Amino acid sequence: MKKKIKCVLLIDDDLPTNFLSERVLKKTDCTERIVAVQSGIEALEYLKSTDCEKHPRPDLFFLDINMPGMNGWEFLENYCQLEEVQKSEAIVVMLTTSLNPDERDKAKKIPQISSFLNKPLSTDGIRGILLQHFPDNFLTDTFPNE
């Protein structure tokens, strides 16, 4: 590994999913910080914070589609309305348990969405995202096997 990405933001209402995603991210040792929130509203509050030391700008989001209150699609609508300094240059990866191909098709039409993965997040899934979107940060032989 050449260098770690600074921050990964997990946005999922399901605590066990966030827990498992955190474990997989820690196993890959690809990030300096992992922040897990349980709603789109909480994620927007995090991004609106001006304290970049306490709330560093994420380089990568893993965003659940189906959440109560504000789903992943609604989060993205609100995210697009944030000031540029609040958005950061994050890669957004949609996560879902849904097998509905319409969701994947919808995600392809939204420019802010970089990738679409099925849950649970896996080492291979993270490896693919990192190699595709952060190729200068990583060497292919540095990832542990699952």
Residue 128 maps to a domain: no
Question: Which pLDDT score is estimated for 8?
Answer: 97
Q: Please indicate, yes or no, if residue 80 is contained in any of the structural domains.
A: yes
Q: Is residue 37 part of a domain?
A: yes
Number of structural domains (the chain) is 1
The pLDDT value recorded for residue 3 is: 84
Does residue 133 sit within a domain? no
Asked whether the beta carbons of 104 and 83 are under 8 A apart, the reply is no
pLDDT of the residue at 146: 46
What does the block give as tokens for 124?
């291979």
> In this structure, is residue 40 part of a structural domain?
yes
Distance CA 34, CA 4 (A): 12
pTM of this prediction exceeds 0.75: yes
What is the reported pLDDT for 94? 94
User: Residue holding tokens 């200068």?
Assistant: 136
pLDDT at 138 over 70: no
- pLDDT tens digits for 31-81? 999 999 999 999 999 999 878 778 889 999 999 999 999 999 999 999 999
Residue 91 belongs to some domain of the structure: yes
Domain carrying residue 16: 5-121
Give the percent of the chain with pLDDT over 70. 92
**131 domain residue, yes or no:** no
Which CATH number characterizes residue 104's domain? 3.40.50.2300
Query: For residue 48, with 0-12 CB atoms within 10 Å meaning exposed, 13-18 middle and 19 or more buried, which class applies?
Result: exposed
Q: Looking at the domain assignment, is residue 13 inside a domain? A: yes
Residue 103: HSE in the Cβ half-sphere, 13 Å Cα cutoff: 18
pLDDT digits (tens, 9 = 90+) for 68-121: 999 999 999 999 999 888 887 889 999 988 777 888 888 888 888 999 999 999
